[in-house]
Amino acid sequence: MLKSKDLLLPIVVVVVVLLLLFLLNIIITIIIITTTTTTTTTTTTTTTTTTIPTTII
């Protein structure tokens, strides 16, 4: 039982991280669509999200 739990933990963590990143991308796209006039803020948010997954890996 302990071995199966040890294998499941990293899988669950990866799934949660991927879901959070997916949600973040959706939120960012909504922000970009709603605020098309402020291009400077949208570019900064997209750059921060692209750096987050690389640091996790």
Please name the residues in contact with 12: beta carbons below 8 A apart, sequence gap of 6 or more: none
pLDDT at residue 44, rounded to an integer: 54
**Which residue is associated with the tokens 């006039």?**
37
pLDDT at residue 47, rounded to an integer: 54
Helix count (H) and strand count (E) of the chain?
Answer: 2, 0
pLDDT at residue 51, rounded to an integer: 52
57 residues of the chain, pLDDT tens digit each:
567 777 888 888 889 999 999 999 999 888 877 776 555 555 555 555 555 555 554
**Contact 32/42 with Cβ under 8 angstroms?**
yes
Taking the whole predicted model, whether its pTM rises above 0.85 is answered as no
